[in-house]
């Protein structure tokens, strides 16, 4: 089964420390109801309910692509516990709880999720955009390109969905400049970044682009 092979390749290459899957155990009621008490909460976006059944849950049609991780990925004491935890942050200041509004019920639910740039955590995307192209950060840039190329080659997605303008620009420039090799048939879709100041209605409207 391809899913099993993909999971093994990604895990063996330690991508499980950087990436995850668009799997969220939230109900349709949580996504549709207007009462705040029933909305998706930060604690609801953990990957834990899917950790032991990834093989039958994942979807290889797409890759959701962020710009960079806003926090340092650390394995701490228990490496397994943090596997596939990116985009499933349940901490106080995380905005990951907004992601299900965009993804649940679309044909890309269960798809691979990763950041274009690895090992350069920064919350301010404007500052990151300036810093990553500085000469002293060229090795980080080049390594990130190589890592994403490998992720892409393993998944072989039909679509890459970019969270926001900045990652879309970096991605398309890399392809144009032949730094990245992507099949000409791959569709690139841009949706708004989930950390933006958007209403729940706007978040759910973004999901229409993925149906």
Q: Which residue has the tokens 């300036």?
A: 130
Q: Which residue has the tokens 């849950």?
A: 57
Count how many domains the chain has.
1
**Cα separation of 197 and 178, whole Å?**
34
Q: Which domain holds residue 73?
A: 2-210
Is the pLDDT at 76 greater than 90, yes or no? no
Decide if 132 contacts 81 (C-beta within 8 A).
Answer: no
* pLDDT score recorded for residue 75: 42
Nearest to 167 by CA among 117, 206, 210, 121: 117
CATH at residue 92: 3.40.470
**Cα separation of 60 and 39, whole Å?**
28
Chain segment 3-33, per-residue pLDDT in tens: 999 999 999 999 999 999 999 999 988 888 6
pTM above 0.85, yes or no: yes
* pLDDT score recorded for residue 210: 96
């Amino acid at each position: 089964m391809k899913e099993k092979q993909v999971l093994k390749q990604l895990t063996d290459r330690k991508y499980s420390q950087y990436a995850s899957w668009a799997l969220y155990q939230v109900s349709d009621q949580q996504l549709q109801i207007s009462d705040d008490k029933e909305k998706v909460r930060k604690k609801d976006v953990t990957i834990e309910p899917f950790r032991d059944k990834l093989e039958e849950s994942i979807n290889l049609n797409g890759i959701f692509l962020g710009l960079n991780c806003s926090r340092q990925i650390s394995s701490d004491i228990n490496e397994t516990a943090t596997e596939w935890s990116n985009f499933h942050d349940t901490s106080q200041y995380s905005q990951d709880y907004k992601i299900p509004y965009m993804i649940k019920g679309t044909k890309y639910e269960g798809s691979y999720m990763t950041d274009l740039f690895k090992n350069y955590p920064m919350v301010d995307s404007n500052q990151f955009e300036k810093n990553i192209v500085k000469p002293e950060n060229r090795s980080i840039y080049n390594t990130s390109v190589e890592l994403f190329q490998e992720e892409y080659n393993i998944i072989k997605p039909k679509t890459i969905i970019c969270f926001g303008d900045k990652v879309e620009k970096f991605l398309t420039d890399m392809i144009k400049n032949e730094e990245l090799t992507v099949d000409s048939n791959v569709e690139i879709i841009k949706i708004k970044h989930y950390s933006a100041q958007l209403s729940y209605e706007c978040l759910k409207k973004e999901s229409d682009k993925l149906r």
